[in-house]
Amino acid sequence: MNCGSDKVIYMDNNATTRVAPEVVEAMMPFLTDCYGNPSSMHTFGGQVAGAIAEARESIAALIGADPEEIVFTSCGTESDSTAILSALQTYPDNRHVITTRVEHPAVKNLCENLDGLTGHKHRITRLQVEADGMLIPDQYEESLSDDTAIVSVMWANNETGVIFPVEEMAVMARDRGILFHTDAVQAVGKIPINLKDSAIDFLSISGHKLHAPKGVGVLYIRKGTPFIPFINGGHQEHGRRGGTENVASIVGLGRACRLAAEKMEEENVRVRRLRDKLESGLLAKIPRSMLNGHKTSRLPNTANISFEFVEGESILLHMDKYNICASSGSACTSGSLEPSHVLRAMGVPFTAAHGSIRFSLSVYNTEEEVDFVLEKMPEIIANLRAMSPFWND
C-alpha cells in the first residue's frame, strides 16, 4: 500500500507520529533473523533479552528512572488502566479517585466505568479547569481525602498541549499517603522529565506518540510502590505484566527515546519557533480566531486554535484537499457535532469550540510547511464563512 506520505503535510502528531527511520532500522533484525523468545535459556533467545534490557535503559534514561522501574505494556491506554486499577486493588477500602475533567479517554472512560468493572461504588472527583485550561489552584488540595486511593492527572493535555504541575501535585499526594499516577503520553520526548527525586508513583508512556510504533507502551512504577498486575501470566517483566514481549517494538521504543533525548534541547527551540510562527500567523491573518490553552505552560509543538462560526470538520475537509493533516476539537457522534470535553471544560463558547483545529508538529515539520499552511488557511476559513448563515448574521 502506498499512503503517499511524502506529499502529506502532517501536523497531527498528537494523534500519532511517523516511525523514525532510525527506529525502523533498529527494529528490523527483530522482525527477521533475531526471532528468539527472550525468556528462552539458549543464547539465541538471550541475545533478544539483551536488546530488551538495552531498550529499558534508554527509556529509563529519558525520564530519569531506574531500568527496573520500567514495565512494558501494549499501549498508553493499558498503562493508564493498569496503574489506576492496581491502586484500587491495593487499597480496597479507599474508593475515592481524583482526576481531571480534561483527561484522555483512556483515563476518563475508565473512571466512568470503575463501578461496573470492579463491582464497587467509587467516588470520583474531576478537577475543573479555568478558561486557559489550567487547574483551579485550591480545588486539588481540598479534594485530597482519607479515602483517596489514587490521583490520576495528565502531564500534558493532548488537545491543547497545556502542562499541569504534576510534580507539585504528586508531593501533596505523597504527604497524605496517596498514590499518584500521571498520563505522560504527550509529555515524554517533548519536554524534560526527571523522575529521580519526584513523588510520582506511576507514569504512562505510549510508543506511537514519540516516533516508535503503535502497540507498545510503558508503565513506570516507582521502586517500592505497591503494585498488582493487570495482565497475569508468565513471569515476564518480573511478574508485573504477563505475555511474551513485543520485542521489535520495544527495541524501537528504546531507539526512539534515545533520539528524543539527543534532539530535545534543539527541538524545544526549533519546533517551538515553528509552532509560534504558525500560531501567531493564523491569529493575525484570520479574524475572529483565538488560541485555546495557556499561552506558556504548554507543549512546544501544539497549537489549538478556534475559528469562530465555522465547523472544525468542514475546515479539516478543506485542509485535506491540500494534504494538510490536523485534528478538530469536535467529533461527529451519532449525527450531532459534540464539542470536545476538553474545550467544554474550559468553557470555550459554542461557536468557537465547534471551529477548533489542533495543529501538532514534530521533528519532521519544516518552515516551508508552516508557510504553506499560513498561505492556505485564511482562504479556507473565508470561503467557509462566506457560506455560513451564522457568519453573515
366 burial via Cβ count (<10 Å: 0-12, 13-18, 19+): exposed
DSSP state of 129: B
The DSSP bridge pattern shows strands 202-206 and 70-73 to be: unpaired
> Whole-number minimum distance, CB 308 to ligand PLP, in Å?
26
Closest residue by Cα to residue 47 from 28, 33, 62, 61: 33
DSSP state of 386: H
> Whole-number minimum distance, CB 204 to ligand PLP, in Å?
7
> Whole-number minimum distance, CB 158 to ligand PLP, in Å?
4
Q: Contacting ligand PLP (CB under 6 A), which of 12, 69, 183, 237?
A: 183
CA distance linking residue 319 with residue 302, whole number of Å: 18
The DSSP bridge pattern shows strands 356-360 and 302-307 to be: antiparallel
> Whole-number minimum distance, CB 79 to ligand PLP, in Å?
8
Alpha-carbon radius of gyration of the chain = 22
Q: Which is nearer to ligand PLP, 183 or 245 (CB)?
A: 183
Site for ligand PLP in 274-313 (CB under 6 A): none
CA distance linking residue 85 with residue 390, whole number of Å: 46
Q: Contacting ligand PLP (CB under 6 A), which of 185, 274, 346, 377?
A: 185
Q: Contacting ligand PLP (CB under 6 A), which of 13, 77, 306, 365?
A: 77
Q: Which span (30-38, 88-96, 206-214, 296-304) binds ligand PLP, by CB under 6 A?
A: 206-214
Q: Which span (3-11, 64-72, 205-213, 229-237) binds ligand PLP, by CB under 6 A?
A: 205-213
Is residue 332 flagged as an active site residue? yes
- Binding of ligand PLP by 76 (CB under 6 A): yes
Q: Contacting ligand PLP (CB under 6 A), which of 83, 135, 154, 326?
A: 154
Q: Contacting ligand PLP (CB under 6 A), which of 106, 188, 259, 299?
A: 106
Nearest-CB residue to ligand PLP?
A: 76
262-270 own/partner pairs: CB under 8 Å, 24+ apart: 263/363, 264/189, 264/190, 264/191, 264/192, 267/190, 267/300, 267/363, 268/190, 268/191, 268/300
- Binding of ligand PLP by 158 (CB under 6 A): yes
- Binding of ligand PLP by 381 (CB under 6 A): no
CA distance linking residue 326 with residue 316, whole number of Å: 7
Q: DSSP for 324-355?
A: EE-EESEEEETTEEEEPHHHHHTT--HHHHTT
Q: Which is nearer to ligand PLP, 186 or 306 (CB)?
A: 186
Q: Which is nearer to ligand PLP, 209 or 275 (CB)?
A: 209
- Which residues belong to the active site? 332
**Interface ranges with ligand PLP (CB under 6 A):** 75-77, 104, 106, 154, 158, 183, 185-186, 206, 208-209, 217
